[in-house]
Structures are given as C-alpha cells and as structure tokens.
Amino acid sequence: MSSAEPEEWFDVVDEQDNVLRSAPRSEVHGQGLLHRASHIWVFNSSNELLIHLRAAGKEEEPLKWTSSAAGHLAAGESYASAAERELQEELGLQAELTYLTKLPSGPEIGYEHTALFSCVSDDPPSPDPREIAEWKFAPLDTVREMLEAEPQRFTNPFRLLFFWYLQQSLNTEKR
C-alpha cells in the first residue's frame, strides 16, 4: 500500500464472528485482533484447482502458495461480496460462487474467520502482479502431494481449508 492510499478498515469481531467495531488494518494485524477473510477456489472444467504463489511484497506469508484468490473483508462487507471483489481484483475473473464453509478464527488461521467459496471457470485469469507472483492449475492429488512434501510452502489458511476439503470429499465418498 502506498502512502497515498488510505488505510483499509476491517471489522473487528468476537469468537462467534459478531462485529465489535471497525479498526484500521495496521491495528487489527498489529494487535492480532479477530477479523474476517474470504478465500476463493477456482476450478477449471478438468477439476484442477488454480493455486497461486503470493507476491514477494505481501505483508503476510510472502512467496507461499495459497488459494486462487483471497482477501480481507472491508468494514461492513459480507463474505460473499468480498469473495466476488477479490476474484475480480486478483484474477480479473467473474464467476458464480458457491459457499463451501467458514472456519473459525484463531492463531493458526491468521486470526481470521475464513469463508471458502468455489467456482468453475475456464476463462484465462489476469493476475494482479502486486498480489500474485505465479499461478497454475493443478489436480487435487498433485496439490495434496505438494502439501504433504513441503507444507511450509503453503499459507496456513490454505492448508486448513485444503484438509477440510479433503475430509469433506472422503465423507461424501463414504455415503
């Protein structure tokens, strides 16, 4: 963020995700206050997941692999509208999003209540280079193998979301 840009404001929330107040990004991150984020997984028609390598200049977890797109909710913003905005801002894509889950906030997920959305798109992404250093579509098995071999190369939220997703897939297969 350049000094000419106003600082982002986030809703500070409690453990049940109730809004307590709004605060600037620097205060929320600096004090480890609970806040909100949306992650979006873009699948292509071959059921491959788009993952991206965070840009080197990112404040948190630079140069780690993560969700197709992700970002904080602005103060007063819904999870769904943040997901649509982040998909457009980070990848230049628009698609119908499906809500999958919300994981509770805590230190292992960056003090963020985190909602996960998915979509299917074969449109070519136009990644924002300030956000994304590299991107690729990969089969879920390949992503799992990468995660198991080198978990530290992925962001904490992505790891938690991915293993939640795998568990849901296993539960669905058992039915």
- Letter string b/e over residues 8-29, b meaning 16 or more CB atoms within 10 A of that residue's CB: ebbbbbeeebeeeeebebeebb
Q: Does 1 score more than 60 pLDDT?
A: no
Tell me which residue range forms the domain holding 141. Answer: 9-174
**Domain total of the chain:** 1
Residue 134 in any domain: the answer is yes
Residue 111 placed within a domain: yes
CATH number of the domain encompassing residue 52? 3.90.79.10
- Residue 3 domain-assigned (yes or no): no
- Largest Cα separation within the chain, whole Å, is 54
The burial class, CB within 10 Å (0-12 / 13-18 / 19+), for 143 is: buried
* Domain-embedded: residue 2: no
Per residue in 29-48, pLDDT (tens digit) is: 999 999 999 999 999 999 99
User: Is 2's pLDDT higher than 50?
Assistant: no
The angle at the Cα of 146, spanning 144 to 148, to the nearest 5 degrees, equals 65
Q: What is the pLDDT of residues 56-78, one digit of tens each?
A: 999 889 999 999 999 999 999 99
Bigger pLDDT: 12 vs 106: 12
> Is residue 88 pLDDT above 90, yes or no?
yes
Give the pLDDT confidence score for residue 150 in this predicted structure: 97
Judged by DSSP in three states, 147 sits in helix
